Amino acid sequence: MTTPVWYPAEVDTPIDSALLAPLLTSPRLGLVSDFDGTLSPIVMDPDQAQLTAANRASLVALAGQLALVAVITGRGAADAYQRLGIADLLVVGNHGLERWQAGGLVVSTEAARFQPQVQAAAAELEPLLAPGMQIENKGLTLSVHYRQVADLEGTRGAFLPRIQSLAGQHGLAFHEGRRVFELRPPVAQDKGRALTELAAEYNLTGVIFLGDDVTDAAALAAARRLRAENLCYGVGLGVRSEATPPEVLDQADGLLPGVPGVEDFLAWLLRSLRASST
């Protein structure tokens, strides 16, 4: 069977068939994906984000064939699980600090100790917000979105030192993504560590990670590292957009052209796995 190769005109890192082919014969293959900007288009209001119908259909089908289908997201695990609406999916939320698993929420005890500091920071941030800014309070972490402000760069420049100072005052870690600032507990956890843990926990022989933002770069790098160290055949695919962070371009093994490219890839993966099993 010949594995197709993606050569979208706007993508400068094509996905080689030689890279993808071993995935199709991996005895315990896992698929792990980011949510926003990968399975769901980026929207101005994060509360309006929805899984596309094509991605939903592919994920449901793949969940019945693979050793693991999971989502690792910066969203709260319960919120992401509700948006996905697929019972068989494992959802790792807050960048690996919690899981929605077996019908309930499992939270990192180390991270939970910082909830009072996170909530205190949320209360102090609220009066500092400019028009168009929005706090997403995820319990263990905070995200401050500014995609809807009139002056994106001016808002970032003015708000950045304030939120960094606030993070320091409360002993929290500061992170930045595309048009979003984040405050998290100072716990050694990110999407890369979460992906590595899942590969070991589920005894995966192969794993695919899909992601589009700065926080996904750690998981893209982890997929490469798993492959290089012969621990698991990991492949990390970035999702290209008009504002793809350089970290994604640096760490991805290849790029898919936006959420439609993810839809095409998941449909191809499903067809190819079915074909290889006959």
Is 197 found in the same domain as 84?
Answer: yes
Q: Which domain holds residue 162?
A: 111-184
> Domain holding 133: CATH number?
3.30.70.1020
- What's residue 1's pLDDT? 37
Among 14, 34, 31, 16, CA closest to 212: 34
Q: What is the band of 13 on the pLDDT scale with cuts at 50, 70, 90?
A: low
Is 116 found in the same domain as 70?
Answer: no
CA–CA separation, 75 vs 78, rounded Å?
A: 8
Is 243 found in the same domain as 217?
Answer: yes
Is 208 found in the same domain as 94?
Answer: yes
In a domain, 83, yes or no: yes
pLDDT tens by residue, 182-205? 999 999 899 999 999 999 999 999
In a domain, 7, yes or no: no
Q: Which of 12, 16, 34, 253 is catalytic?
A: 34
Averaged pLDDT, 134-156: 91
In a domain, 125, yes or no: yes
User: b/e per residue, 104-130, with b = 16+ CB within 10 A?
Assistant: eeebbeebbebeebbeebbeebeeebe
Is 193 found in the same domain as 91?
Answer: yes
Please say if 34 is a catalytic residue. Answer: yes
Is 146 found in the same domain as 76?
Answer: no
Among 2, 69, 84, CA closest to 35: 84
pLDDT tens by residue, 200-238? 999 999 999 999 999 999 999 999 999 999 999 999 999
Please tell me the total count of domains within the chain: 2
- What's residue 150's pLDDT? 87
Q: Which of 184, 213, 242 is the last residue of a domain?
A: 184
The size of the chain, in residues, is 278
Instruction: For residue 210, count CB atoms less than 10 angstroms from its CB and return exposed for 0-12, middle for 13-18, buried for 19 or more.
Output: buried
Is 124 found in the same domain as 95?
Answer: no
In a domain, 257, yes or no: yes
Is 118 found in the same domain as 195?
Answer: no
Average per-residue pLDDT for the chain: 91
Is 139 found in the same domain as 242?
Answer: no
Is 119 found in the same domain as 227?
Answer: no
Task: For the chain, give the percent of residues with pLDDT over 90.
Answer: 79
104: enclosing H helix or E strand? strand 104-107
Question: What is the arrangement of strands in the sheet containing 90-93, beginning at the earlier edge strand?
Answer: 104-107, 98-101, 90-93, 68-72, 29-33, 206-211, 233-240, 254-257
Is 64 found in the same domain as 140?
Answer: no
Averaged pLDDT, 37-65: 92
